[in-house]
Amino acid sequence: MKGLWIVTTETSAEPTRRDFLYIATGAVAAVGAAAAVWPFIAQMNPDASTIAAGAPIEVDLTPIAEGQDIKVFWRGKPIYIMNRTKKQVEEARSVALSALPDPQTDQERTKEGHEQWLVVIGICTHLGCIPIAHEGSYDGFFCPCHGSQYDSSGRIRQGPAPLNLPVPPYQFVSDSKIQIG
């Protein structure tokens, strides 16, 4: 800002030592001002304790009976863990990929050997509401906000949401325990 007027006061067409001094001063001041802005922006990012609190969590699956689900929180996000029935798995696997707005197989979205378990982040990909489990016409999730319907694999089937419910990073530590994160 300090540099702005400077260049215009120069009348000679040839660059002079004076020009150089003015431009250098203006440039250094501008660089300083830009650098000074950085801490004020960086402070808005999650702080170190928030990041540390987002560490992986372990969830015990034994209390979840077939056909039931639980909701746990990881990094402030609701995670659905659903113990699917045979019928739900079947439905999820029999649908043709071409019929899906966001094509993905059920195999890609679950872990091999643990087919009945569906773990998805329960945030509607439309505008962030929490879909309700075991509702809607696809045996999966129904978002009450604007009517998006997800199937039993958490894939978008109908409504304004563009994408499937995302699968968080997780792995099975044992047959009855998963680690999310």
Partner 1 sequence: MSGPSTYQPQSPFMKWLEQRLPIAGLVHSSFIAYPTPRNLNYWWTFGAILSMMLAVQIVTGIVLAMHYTPHVDLAFDSVERLVRDVNYGWLLRNMHAAGASMFFVAVYIHMLRGLYYGSYKAPREVLWILGVIIYLLMMATGFMGYVLPWGQMSFWGATVITNLFSAIPFVGDSIVTLLWGGYSVGNPTLNRFFSLHYLLPFVIAGVVVLHVWALHVTGQNNPAGVEPKTEKDTVPFTPYATLKDAFGMSCFLVFFCWFIFYMPNYLGDADNYIPANPGVTPPHIVPEWYYLPFYAILRSIPNKLMGVVAMFGAIIVLLFLPWLDSAKVRSLRYRPLAKRFFWGFVATCLMLGWLGAKPAEGMYTILGRIFTFFYFAYFLIVLPLLSRVEKTLPLPNSIAEDVLNKGKVVGTTAASLFAAVLAGTMLFGGVQSAKASEGGESPPSLSWSFAGPFGTYDRAQLQRGFKIYKEVCSACHSLKLLQYRNLAEPGGPSFTLDQAKAIAAEASIKDGPNDAGEMFERPGRLADTFHSPFPNEQAARAANGGAVPPDMSLLAKARSYPRGFPQFIFDFFTQFQEQGPNYIDALLQGYQDTPPEGFSLPDGSYYNKWFPGHSIKMPPPISDGQVTYDDGSPQTLPQYAKDVTAFLMWAAEPHLEARKRLGLQVMIFLIILSGLLYFTKRKVWSNVH
Strand segments, DSSP code E, in 86-125 are: 117-121
C-beta closer to partner 1: residue 9 or 94: 9
Instruction: For residues 125 and 127, give the distance between their C-alpha atoms in angstroms, rounded to a whole number.
Output: 6
Q: What share of residues in the chain are helix, strand, coil (percent, to 5)?
A: 30, 25, 45
7 Cβ contact list (under 8 Å, min separation 6): 19, 22, 23, 26
* Alpha-carbon distance values, 169 to 12, 58, 111 (Å): 65, 12, 11
Of 82, 95, 124, 133, the residue at the interface with ligand FES (CB under 6 A) is 124
Residues 135-154 that bind ligand FES (CB under 6 A): 143, 145-148
- Of residues 7 and 127, the one with the C-beta less far from ligand FES: 127
Binding mask 71-110 for ligand FES (x = CB under 6 A): ----------------------------------------
How far the first Cα of the chain sits from its last, in Å, is 47
Count of residues engaged in binding partner 1, rule: CB under 8 A = 28
Identity of the residue numbered 132: I
In whole angstroms, how far apart are CA 177 and each of 22, 53, 60, 61? 67, 21, 5, 6
Per CB under 8 A, 48 contacts partner 1: yes
Residue 126 touches ligand FES, criterion: CB under 6 A: yes
Q: Which stretch binds ligand FES (CB under 6 A): 30-38, 75-83, 86-94, 155-163?
A: 155-163
- Annotated active-site residue 146? The verdict is yes
Name the minimum Å distance from CB 149 to partner 1.
Answer: 31
What does the alpha-carbon distance between residue 152 and residue 134 come to, in Å, rounded to a whole number?
Answer: 8
Q: Which residues bind partner 1 (CB under 8 A)?
A: 2, 5-6, 9, 18, 21-22, 24-25, 28-29, 32, 35, 38-40, 42-45, 47-50, 52-53, 55, 63
Q: Which residues bind ligand FES (CB under 6 A)?
A: 124, 126-129, 143, 145-148, 159-161
Annotated catalytic sites, by residue? Answer: 146
